[in-house]
Amino acid sequence: MVVTTRVRLDRIASATKNAALAQEVILGDEIVAGEGYVLAVRILTDKSTYNEVEDLSGRMVALRAGDVLAGTLGVRRALRGYAGDVPSQLAVGDVINVLNLGGILGRCTSQNPEIGPPFDAEVLGAVLAFPELGDRVGRPAHIRDRAVAPADLLQCDVPVVYVAGTCMNAGKTVAATELVRGLTRAGARVAAVKLTGVSLMRDALSMQDAGAVAALTFNDAGAASTHAGMTVPVARGLFNRLVDPRGARPDVIVAELGDGILGEYGVQDILRAPDLMSLGAAFVMAAPDPVACWGAQRLMRDEFHLPITVITGPATDNEVGRKYIGEELHLPAHNARRDAVGLVAQVRDAIDGWRAARGVAT
């Protein structure tokens, strides 16, 4: 018999968005230990760094010991953050951790010393959903509720600008945001999507603020985080939703690939998917240094058989990096912060070339 309790949430993490939680929820004591299930936890510790969570509006709000938080079970594999997994089983009273700013919950297995240990949190129960009006028996809430469905068939036919990077914090979101802004100002209807990573609304909101007519992430497809084996159907579903005639009707899509091209979030599967890559009008690579640029060029060429349209990121911060990229790698280099105009121009030329090759009017 499921024992239920009613609690008021102090914080509702953005990773739970699809579950559409109210401030007051009913909890059950039978917990499904699986990615995407929504739990209520009580924060047990205070922290001076990495001590916030993104709420449903996209605001960062502080977490304090005693706060009751609704979060989503998930996996994280961050080189410069926490790594953690969903435990094989969970019960009320167990202690788990908050693994990211979006409210992903799991058991931390490794941490970066720069951000210290994660929040400890006591499991209070599974948040219950009552999908049918008048239901008296709830079921464990999951973020695939109301989600964009994955797809086996790609129905998108508009050009895609893929923004990838060699690692996290390489400048991908800055580049994607400036591309959305620049292409929009040039008269295009631009949609944006983040295809891989761990749940956080911030990047999609940034692109929406820059002018995107629609912005989705894998979280909208019911995934707390991405991993090998699931990213391709999720990407197809998100692209299909963006070009749905009843939706945004974009001229171009800017697609950010979270994490790095050698990470554990399933980026490689997308780069190896012929149908998804056939939409690739431009491939923007963000890299922190010349070695990363050199490696990225070889990986894209030899492993994925894809071109790099332009390199951006910290490697292009000054003339030293740009000169190496131009003279040694024979690639364009434009810094998204300081030369967004050049970056956008390079990508616009690539989009025009993609359309011309397919006989599509520019």
Nearest residue to 331 via CA among 277, 270, 286, 361 = 286
Q: Dihedral of CA 246/248/251/252: which sign?
A: negative
Angstrom distance (rounded) from CA 290 to CA 295: 9
Residue 310 CB partners (closer than 8 Å, separation 6+): 282, 284, 285, 331, 332, 333, 334, 343, 346, 347
The angle formed by the CA atoms of residues 103, 202 and 228, to the nearest 5 degrees, is: 65
pLDDT of 349 reads 98
In terms of C-beta distances under 8 Å and separation of at least 24 residues, what long-range contacts does 271-275 make, across chains too? 271/164, 271/300, 271/304, 271/306, 272/304, 273/232, 273/235, 275/154, 275/236
pLDDT of 133 reads 58
Q: Max CA-CA distance within the chain?
A: 70
Second-level CATH architecture of 160-357: 3-Layer(aba) Sandwich (3.40)
pLDDT of 226 reads 96
Answer yes or no: are the C-beta atoms of 207 and 176 closer than 8 Å: yes
Convert the pLDDT of each residue in 87-96 to its tens digit: 999 999 999 9
Averaged pLDDT in 10-residue chunks for the chain of 362 residues: 85 97 95 97 94 96 98 90 94 97 96 90 96 73 95 97 94 97 98 95 95 97 95 98 89 96 94 98 97 98 98 96 97 97 98 93 67
- Reduce the DSSP state of residue 358 to 3 states and report it: coil
Nearest residue to 60 via CA among 69, 68, 51 = 51
Convert the pLDDT of each residue in 68-83 to its tens digit: 999 999 999 887 789 9
Answer yes or no: are the C-beta atoms of 229 and 196 closer than 8 Å: no
Angstrom distance (rounded) from CA 99 to CA 117: 10
Residue 280 CB partners (closer than 8 Å, separation 6+): 159, 160, 162, 306, 354
H/E element, 343? helix 340-357
- Reduce the DSSP state of residue 154 to 3 states and report it: coil
Answer yes or no: are the C-beta atoms of 258 and 172 closer than 8 Å: yes
Residue 51 is encoded by which pair of tokens?
């001590």
pLDDT of 148 reads 96
pLDDT of 1 reads 56
pLDDT of 11 reads 98
- Reduce the DSSP state of residue 61 to 3 states and report it: strand
Angstrom distance (rounded) from CA 286 to CA 267: 14
Every domain of the chain and the residues it spans = 4-140, 160-357
Answer yes or no: are the C-beta atoms of 12 and 55 closer than 8 Å: yes
Residue at 161: amino acid letter: V
